[in-house]
Every structure is written in structure tokens, then in C-alpha cells.
């Protein structure tokens, strides 16, 4: 089925589109290349839940799939430009590409994005950060298409209520682009910092495995990985998913893993940490679709996923 130039497809396998390589199918799926294609697709499936999928690096889809519309932003949504000291990037652009683009253009301040394997839209939605900075610190304004609306709005980080790893955007709100502050910097210096960040990640995080980055948000003044490690959970498994031996806030999927295994491990680790330390970790990873309830979800008072 085609709306304009975008094609709506049914029962598309979502697993290859995520870093975990898990999950079922999307009832409807579309890749849109510009705002008009996006509006057409949303209008055609206006009565169904909609989820925008970025790089698939922070989400787990249910084994039963997603009973709604999954949209990916491609084409013009993956472009970037520099003007008057700011860097504008489309919502679908990969953050490492944004970091390298800005560095090559002689703009500093966005190097930290090279260490985050998500998209610009995802970064705005969750205030992604690392290596001493976060999205809120550099975001000037983001263009948002609010859920159920046909007219985009421009919102600042303040208006987005950006706090640690969160914003006020809902699943149906779509980040079309973002404008970032930057400063003049020698490309050689910027690219050297990018290499240093990349090297640090290889040395401290489990590369070459199926994972979705940090599973839990860091509590104030502490690190979720340190806390999980402190209760002896490195290597702990549920099904075919385990807590990484290298970094305890990374959960690694092995052969035969299911999305339900990830869900079960997240809640089991949270419950164990909560019982033993009194710290109820808040999941940073997102789950989409239907998952089976597990006893660990009833273990403590903290935030829901």
C-alpha cells in the first residue's frame, strides 16, 4: 500500500532493526523520507498506536510484536548542516555520524555523541548523554510533530522538560530535527577526542555482543553498573540473556534468547538490587508490545519501566 511515495508494509520483522536482534513483527511499518510522507502515513493509520524507531539501540520489542505502526525516519531526516555556529540534524541521523560531521566541519561540543549508538530523535526524547555532557546541554531547539497533530512545533530543552535521561515527549511525539549549539574547533582536535571516546568504549563496554547499551539509569551520585556488580550479579542469567561480565549495566543476548528473557532479567536484577541495597533502579531501556508479567515486578516501590 502506498501513500504518496512512502510504502506501508504489513507484518515486518522488527528484530533486524534493533541491536538486540529480538522481537516479533510490526502490524504496520513505513520508512518516510520527508515531512509530507510522514504526514500521509500518520493520517492513513491515525487510529493505531505509533512508535518511531531510531537506531534500535535502546528498545526491546515483544516476541509477539507491536500491534500498531512503526515508523523509521530516513531520507532528509538523516541529513545535517552547519549555519551560524549551530549544527542542524534530522531526527533519523545516527549520533556517531552527527559527531563526526560536526568535527569535520570544525564545530566542537558534539563529540560526546560518538559514544551513543542512537539517533538524534532518540537523543532528544531521552536526553541521551555521556562523557561529561548530554543532549540538554547542547540543544538549542527541536522541531516536534506532536501526537495527533499535523503542524510541527519548535521546543527548547526547557520546554521539553529535559532532565536526566528523560523528556516530556510521549511515544507518539516525533522529533523531526534538532538544532545544536557548537563552537569553533580545529577538526584535528575534535577528531582526536572522538577517537579517544571510541577507544574508551571499546576498553570498558562489551562490544561485539547483542545488547542495548545501559539498561538502568544511574542513581544520583552513583553508577548502576557498580551497584549491580556490588551484589554479585555479573554473569547472572534469565533464559539466554545475561548480565555482562565486563560492565554490569549491559545485558547481553546469547543464541536462543527471547525478548521476554530480557524483560525477565531486567526486573529480576532490579528486584535483587532493591532488596539488597534499598536502591530501586529505573530502567533506561524501553519495552514495546506485550510482555508476560513476572513476580519481580511486584518486588519494590520504584519507578515503572
Residue 182 among the catalytic residues:
no
What number of other Cβ atoms are within 10 A of residue 208's Cβ?
7
17/206 Cα distance (integer angstroms)? 20
Q: Where are the alpha helices (DSSP H) in 181-231?
A: 187-204, 224-230
Q: Of residues 157, 214, 244, 296, which has the active-site annotation?
A: 214
Residue 175 has φ and ψ, to the nearest 5°, of -85, 110
Pairing of strands 80-83, 59-61: unpaired
**DSSP calls for 127-192:** T-EETTEEHHHHEEEEEEE-TT-SS-EEE-TTTTT-BTTB-S--TT-EEEEEEEE-EE--HHHHHH
Report the SS3 class of residue 275.
helix
Q: Could you tell me which of 283, 297, 287, 209 has the C-alpha nearest to residue 249? A: 283
- Among residues 107, 165, 238, 270, the one annotated as catalytic is 165
User: Looking at 157, 270, 284, 296, which residue is catalytic?
Assistant: 284
Would you call 284 a catalytic residue per the annotation?
A: yes
Q: Give catalytic residues, as residue numbers.
A: 165, 214, 284
Amino acid at each position: 500500500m502506498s501513500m504518496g511515495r512512502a510504502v506501508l508494509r504489513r507484518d515486518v520483522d522488527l528484530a533486524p532493526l534493533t541491536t538486540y536482534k529480538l522481537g516479533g513483527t510490526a502490524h504496520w511499518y513505513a520508512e518516510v523520507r520527508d515531512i509530507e510522507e510522514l504526514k500521509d502515513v500518520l493520517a492513513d493509520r491515525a487510529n493505531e498506536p505509533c512508535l518511531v524507531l531510531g537506531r534500535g539501540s535502546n528498545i526491546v520489542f515483544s516476541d509477539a510484536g507491536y500491534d500498531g505502526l512503526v515508523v523509521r525516519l530516513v531520507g532528509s531526516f538523516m541529513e545535517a548542516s552547519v549555519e551560524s555556529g549551530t549544527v542542524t540534524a534530522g531526527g533519523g541521523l545516527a549520533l556517531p555520524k552527527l559527531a563526526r560531521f560536526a568535527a569535520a566541519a570544525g564545530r566542537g561540543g558534539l563529540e560526546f555523541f560518538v559514544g551513543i549508538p542512537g539517533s538524534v530523535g532518540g537523543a532528544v526524547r531521552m536526553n541521551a548523554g555521556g562523557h561529561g555532557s548530554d543532549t540538554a546541554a547542547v540543544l538549542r531547539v527541536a522541531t516536534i510533530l506532536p501526537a495527533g497533530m499535523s503542524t510541527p512545533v519548535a521546543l527548547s530543552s526547557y520546554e521539553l522538560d529535559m532532565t536526566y535521561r528523560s523528556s516530556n515527549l510521549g511515544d507518539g511525539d516525533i522529533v523531526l530535527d534538532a538544532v545544536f549549539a557548537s563552537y569553533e574547533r580545529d577538526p584535528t582536535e575534535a577528531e582526536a577526542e572522538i577517537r579517544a571516546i571510541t577507544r574508551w568504549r571499546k576498553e570498558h563496554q562489551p562490544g561485539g555482543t547483542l545488547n542495548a547499551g545501559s539498561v538502568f539509569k544511574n542513581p544520583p551520585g552513583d553508577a548502576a553498573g557498580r551497584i549491580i556488580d556490588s551484589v554479585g550479579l555479573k554473569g547472572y542469567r534469565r533464559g539466554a540473556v545475561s548480565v555482562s561480565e565486563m560492565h554490569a549495566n549491559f545485558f547481553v543476548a546469547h543464541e536462543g534468547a527471547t525478548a521476554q528473557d530480557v524483560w525477565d532479567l531486567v526486573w529480576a536484577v532490579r528486584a535483587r538490587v532493591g532488596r539488597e541495597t534499598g536502591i530501586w533502579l529505573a530502567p533506561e531501556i524501553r519495552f514495546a508490545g506485550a510482555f508476560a508479567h513476572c513476580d519481580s515486578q511486584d518486588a519494590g516501590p520504584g519507578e515503572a519501566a
